Structure 1
Amino acid sequence: MAFESLASRLQSAFDKLRGRGKIDEQAVNEAMREVRLALLEADVNFKVVKDFVARVKERAIGQEVLKSLTPGQMVIKVVNEELTELMGGNVAKIAVAAKPPTVVMMVGLQGAGKTTTTGKLAKYLQKQNRKPLLVAGDIYRPAAIKQLQVLGEQVKAPVFTLGDQVSPVEIARQAIEHAKENHLDYVLIDTAGRLHIDEALMDELKQVREVAKPDEILLVVDAMTGQDAVNVAESFNQQLELTGVILTKLDGDTRGGAALSVKAVTGQPIKFAGMGEKLDSLEPFHPDRMASRILGMGDVLSLIEKAQEAVDTEKAKEMEKQMRQGEFTFDMFLDSMQQMRKLGPLEDILGMMPGMNKMKDLKVDEKQLGRVEAIVTSMTLKERANPDLLNASRRKRIAAGSGTSVQEVNRFIKQFEEMKKMMKQFSGMADKMQKKSKKKGFGLPFMGKSAGNLPLKERGPGFPFNFKPPFK
């Protein structure tokens, strides 16, 4: 999970302050010592750490904090604001040229994920109703052109190539003309990389820049390389005058050194973050949301945005209607699980919920979720609609079909029966709540805007209902 080790260290340091009714300069200094060590262990640039701690300490020892009613929380608020500022403050949006097409040069070292990220960026732009052109400008790496063509097919975006015998400069020039003729919005030039920074690489990139006159020069760097990623960013920025950075593999970076250092060192914002292997896993980088996640406050806005993109609202409305009528089938359960899995790895989703990353032992067993899904899909349509049909011989067949044991099938069916009972109780309670709502003004539990006003016992069930998820 992104920033896992850093988040754990920082939250541990602030837990000592959070409950105090009063803090003094010594308490702040002790907390800042822990913060300094946590950031250095996370491979954050030493100068960045020094400046960050100095700014936080200056504000935290100020009268506004020490005389507040909850000084511990005020210190955390200061750290949250400074972390947000450190990573760029506001969201840095991708450029839009006054006259199309907008030209974007993708640069970086070999192995950082530049070509894949170019495909992901095309997918992102399509969601914004843009028409991108992918340009195969890497003529040196074997199969680079073919890789981009495959990505183009996957995202249904055109790919411009002149083969590997034409210079990248000429490819860039003709690609831009092609985009103009075909009324395409963006030109994404995938340039060559090297295993290290050298003069030949930079000279070629400068020549492409002169011809293409890009609106954006985005550096793609592997977040997991930590301080090395920052050094690479600094070198590229000195030579090419970058406009932004894309961090790949941020979902696997438990330290966070690159994300916390790159803006301060280069002066250029992080515009996107790669949060997975799928082509739709490139996300705009939100400094404020990332700071909240690091400090254990969650990232509810990103979670809502993911849900809006992934969840089938019509199907959700139909399921809500059936649940109100007390209906609950295996198909409904399967739909709920599949809708949730569209949001991404469940461990990452849980990490966006406030306070969840404090639960160090909380792990989602994705394999077990797959086994549950296999059990349901091994049932016939009639069995899914009517669980009463599931006698011993049918359960044995389902176990064989799903690659599970009869005991696992029995255990799941028992849990499902408990859920079904709860659905019936929920149905009766919903009717009562509906009648009360006319008098007291609150809606159905977990169905209306004001469900949060209901006592916990009266609230409706959320996914996965009463099913105990396979955490370990």
Structure 2
Amino acid sequence: MFEGLSNSLQKALGKLKSKGKLTDEDVQAAMREVRLALLAADVNVKVVKDFVERVRERSIGQEVQKSLTPGQQVVKIVHDELTALMGGEEARLNMAPKPPTVVMLAGLQGAGKTTTAAKLALSFRKHGHRPMLVAADVYRPAAITQLQVLGKQIDIPVFDMGTHEDPVRIAKAGMAESERLGADVVIIDTAGRLHVDDALMDELSRIGQAVSPNELLLVVDAMTGQDAVHVAQTFHERLTLTGVILTKLDGDTRGGAALTVRAVTGCPIKFGGTGEKIEPLEVFHPDRLASRILGMGDVMSLIERAQETVDMEQAEEMQKKLLSAQFTLDDFRAMFQQVRNMGPLDQIMKMIPGANQLKGLENVNLDDKRFQRIDAIISSMSKEERADPNVMNASRRRRVANGSGVTVREVNQVLNQYEQTRQMMKKFGGGMGKKLGLRGARKALKSMGNGMGDLAELGGSDTQLADIGTGLAGGGSETRRRHKKKKKR
């Protein structure tokens, strides 16, 4: 998502960065390209016009004229305006002062409501809540069965009364069941239609009156572009929504819905969903998304993902081994697995500041097959060779290549990657976040990728991310704490 918009905006603004002084003509030319980029991304015409005008006015104002780097200041203005366009800051859920908190999901058929309900329940449980799902979609074939399967998969209770009961009665009965089970969050999956109609709105309105939801969230398919914004506007006018969840953000979408829905409806985007895999929804951070669009990376999300997925005990053990020069190929392989657990590697790459500008990474396919070859190479080595790669002479390398079904060149690449990672991790092994702080972490992450292009052929670009599992995991909490403190000031 946003790849086309991101490339166009970075190209337009990149021309300004190199200029020591900006003229009105420079700003006007850049704004024309920004306008075209936003329109091509399917952003609402009126929103584009207002956005470009705000950026233009600020770019020719005193804050840029007095800046030592006017081009960079304009980029900052665009970043600030993009952030404001998407809501400014994270929009938190409204929790009931007395449980249970009731969350009602609405939307058109096919937007991913049922899957999103399960993902949302998982997000609540991740933060210590006891969620329950209510199947109130009695019209779509297998909708109730789908929710039951998802609930069983993530071990969260699902309440249903079959397909012949009124959805309002099901919602009321679900509330009563939540008290019996001791659930403190009730998520109601309602029916959708292929289009907005009076019958759908009337039913949703009656369910809302019956259960008085703390959150009425509209689930919108980001792939539908401006049509998604029109749907959100119609639902908001009839039901008074409290927020929006954008699904399929990892799809081939131009991003217009994410950039427009807040400006047109006034409803904050609270979560973003990707893929069909049942995992917690990502909280929507406008400032972080704006940074990704402009190629600035997203260090905070990278740190948070590392903290959630990295085995802390294993990371600390790796640090000790690195500092005592005992880091082996078995540890190297385990580190790969830690990074893989953080999610799709192309997404991780986009979080690293400047990674999009690295040569050799434009068309790199970071898939699991590459890691499987690395794993096969290491597995073909003896225990002695994995513990001390220095013993790997030419004949041993040929034997490992034959045993793993690869070339000697690929075996050499893995050994070179191991040595480079060992040296780099020894440098940052004491806890990169603690030592360097957020700014230093950004610099380290950026420099970490400078050699990725040469290693991309075997997936080696991702070994450079390995210190996320040790340095960032060790210092991430401190880095995030200082970042929050700075924002408050």
Assess, with a 3 A threshold, how the Cα gap between structure 1 residues 420 and 96 changes in structure 2: closer, same or farther.
closer
Q: State the shift of 1:116 in Å.
A: 0.5
Q: State the shift of 1:200 in Å.
A: 1.6
Does 2:371 match 1:369? yes
Deviation string, structure 1 residues 243-299 (Cα, Å, up to 9, x no partner) = 000001112255210000000111000000013333225100001111111111111
Q: Secondary structure at the match of 1:217?
A: strand
What is the distance in 2 between the residues matched to 1:296 and 1:421? 30
Does 2:134 match 1:139? no
Aligned partner of 1:122 in structure 2 is 121
Does 2:314 match 1:302? no
What is the distance in 1 between the residues matched to 2:222 and 2:10? 22
- 2:222·2:253 contact (CA, 8 Å) conserved in 1? no
Assess, with a 3 A threshold, how the Cα gap between structure 1 residues 47 and 420 changes in structure 2: closer, same or farther.
closer
RMSD: 3.2
Aligned partner of 1:395 in structure 2 is 400
Query: Equivalent residues in 2 for 1:240-319 (5 A)?
Result: 240-319=239-318
Amino acid of the structure 2 residue aligned with 1:111: G
Assess, with a 3 A threshold, how the Cα gap between structure 1 residues 246 and 448 changes in structure 2: closer, same or farther.
closer
What is the distance in 1 between the residues matched to 2:38 and 2:148? 41
Q: State the shift of 1:462 in Å.
A: 9.4
Assess, with a 3 A threshold, how the Cα gap between structure 1 residues 382 and 135 changes in structure 2: closer, same or farther.
farther
- 1:5·1:254 contact (CA, 8 Å) conserved in 2? no
Query: Equivalent residues in 2 for 1:147-166 (5 A)?
Result: 147-166=146-165
Query: Equivalent residues in 2 for 1:413-424 (5 A)?
Result: 413-419=411-417
Assess, with a 3 A threshold, how the Cα gap between structure 1 residues 51 and 178 changes in structure 2: closer, same or farther.
same
Aligned partner of 1:468 in structure 2 is 455
Deviation string, structure 1 residues 310-358 (Cα, Å, up to 9, x no partner) = 1111101111212222223332121111110111111111101112224
Aligned length: 450
Assess, with a 3 A threshold, how the Cα gap between structure 1 residues 55 and 164 changes in structure 2: closer, same or farther.
same
What is the distance in 1 between the residues matched to 2:194 and 2:182? 36
Aligned partner of 1:438 in structure 2 is none
Aligned partner of 2:215 in structure 1 is 216
What is the distance in 2 between the residues matched to 1:5 and 1:465? 23
Does 2:34 match 1:35? yes
What is the distance in 2 between the residues matched to 1:23 and 1:200? 57
What is the distance in 2 between the residues matched to 1:181 and 1:300? 43
Query: Equivalent residues in 2 for 1:222-233 (5 A)?
Result: 222-233=221-232
Q: Secondary structure at the match of 1:184?
A: coil
Q: Which has the larger radius of gyration?
A: 1
Structure 2 length normalisation: TM-score? 0.84
Structure 1 length normalisation: TM-score? 0.87
Aligned partner of 1:66 in structure 2 is 65
Query: Equivalent residues in 2 for 1:50-129 (5 A)?
Result: 50-129=49-128
Amino acid of the structure 2 residue aligned with 1:363: V
Q: Secondary structure at the match of 1:468?
A: helix
- 2:377·2:400 contact (CA, 8 Å) conserved in 1? no
What is the distance in 1 between the residues matched to 2:299 and 2:436? 18
Assess, with a 3 A threshold, how the Cα gap between structure 1 residues 347 and 422 changes in structure 2: closer, same or farther.
closer
- 1:103·1:187 contact (CA, 8 Å) conserved in 2? yes
What is the distance in 1 between the residues matched to 2:137 and 2:177? 18
Amino acid of the structure 2 residue aligned with 1:395: V
Segment drifting more, 162-171 vs 257-266: 162-171
What is the distance in 1 between the residues matched to 2:12 and 2:175? 52
Q: Secondary structure at the match of 2:455?
A: coil
Segment drifting more, 287-296 vs 461-470: 461-470
What is the distance in 2 between the residues matched to 1:385 and 1:325? 14
Equivalent in 449, 455, 467 of residue 435 of structure 2: 449
Assess, with a 3 A threshold, how the Cα gap between structure 1 residues 392 and 385 changes in structure 2: closer, same or farther.
same
What is the distance in 2 between the residues matched to 1:116 and 1:450? 40
Assess, with a 3 A threshold, how the Cα gap between structure 1 residues 445 and 461 changes in structure 2: closer, same or farther.
farther
Deviation string, structure 1 residues 424-468 (Cα, Å, up to 9, x no partner) = 8789x87xxxxxxxxxxx9959596149989x99xx989999992
Q: State the shift of 1:421 in Å.
A: 5.3
Assess, with a 3 A threshold, how the Cα gap between structure 1 residues 466 and 17 changes in structure 2: closer, same or farther.
closer
Q: Identity over aligned residues, as a percent?
A: 53
- 1:419·1:465 contact (CA, 8 Å) conserved in 2? no
Assess, with a 3 A threshold, how the Cα gap between structure 1 residues 420 and 133 changes in structure 2: closer, same or farther.
closer
Segment drifting more, 110-119 vs 357-366: 357-366
User: Which residues of structure 2 form unaligned runs of 5+?
Assistant: 462-489
Amino acid of the structure 2 residue aligned with 1:129: G
- 1:152·1:158 contact (CA, 8 Å) conserved in 2? yes
Aligned partner of 1:433 in structure 2 is none
Assess, with a 3 A threshold, how the Cα gap between structure 1 residues 218 and 424 changes in structure 2: closer, same or farther.
closer
What is the distance in 2 between the residues matched to 1:227 and 1:256? 9
